[in-house]
Structure 1
Amino acid sequence: MEDADYAAFVEAAWHRHLRTATLLTGDRHRAEELLQDCLVKLYVRWRRVAAGDPHAYLRRMLANGNVSWWRRRRRELLTPDAPDAIDRRADPSGTPHEPHEELRRALLALPRHQRTVVVLRYVEDLTEKDTAAVLGCSVGTVKSQNARAMARLRTALRESQEVTL
């Protein structure tokens, strides 16, 4: 019976949490790996977690798992320098991007902690208090990180509009 409950939870929650993981990691494949790793860990704890809110538990696992992965990898992977100027409205083939692509790119350009706060607050629709609980920080930290992130997003989106004009 517990396996059936777990399978039903995964089936119902997969797309929702994959979207969150994709926004946290910035990469669909990495997001799938992260989600699968977290779901394996969740299965081991399912009996205890199922009595509470498994979605909240999985969200916290995703946020913490992404931080752990990022910490392990940051010393191992070198990132290329960003180009000086890019056309944000079209890819190299000249195909225009969807309007939400601008926002996705700006979101992925945020520092990891700011991006995590924005995803939890606006994609997962958590309160400041709940976001602080997931991240293990104070509400004030969530507020300041959110304010900085929103300022960066506004600037990035304003600049992308100027490039296209």
Structure 2
Amino acid sequence: MADYTLEEKDSFTVLGIGTELKSDYTDFAGINKEKADFWQTVSQDGTLDTLKTVATNDYVFAVNEAVNNKMMHYAGVMTDASVPEATRVIQFPKGEYIVVKGEGNTADELSNKLAGIAFGQVLPEAKDFAYVGGPNTTVEMGQRDGLVFGEMWIPVVRK
């Protein structure tokens, strides 16, 4: 099984600016392109920089969440503040989370790699816990040796 940890986390809030993903949930190439285009836009138009001004730490969150039967993707920061551009306040519950750590050449590569490990290996092979929905996130934590490093956090419940 892939390398992961189970960690207890306190509840936390991510302030996000989002987009609806229109690709079918099985169309990984389409979803990944939509996410990449979205991140390019929020990085270039200053939206992500605006979010960072109210962040409580240096982490950048890429959040996936189903809202009103729509697949949503958000760029976000951990904060209790708000900015006019924000489209959603995302509440993460207190509880156990699968945490998969990794690194990639870019934030996109990191996110895709961690999601592949978490949803393609860890969760399908899990016997003691399950993902029952709710928001999940890739957390970009910084750079070292020319690589972006971070973690994927997925809330789970014991079976």
Task: Confirm or deny a common fold (TM above 0.5).
Answer: no
TM-score normalised by the shorter chain: which range applies?
A: under 0.3
Give TM-score, length-normalised by structure 2. Answer: 0.27
TM value normalised by structure 1 = 0.26
- Higher relative contact order, chain-length normalized (CA < 8 Å, sep 6+): 2
Bigger fraction of residues in helix = 1
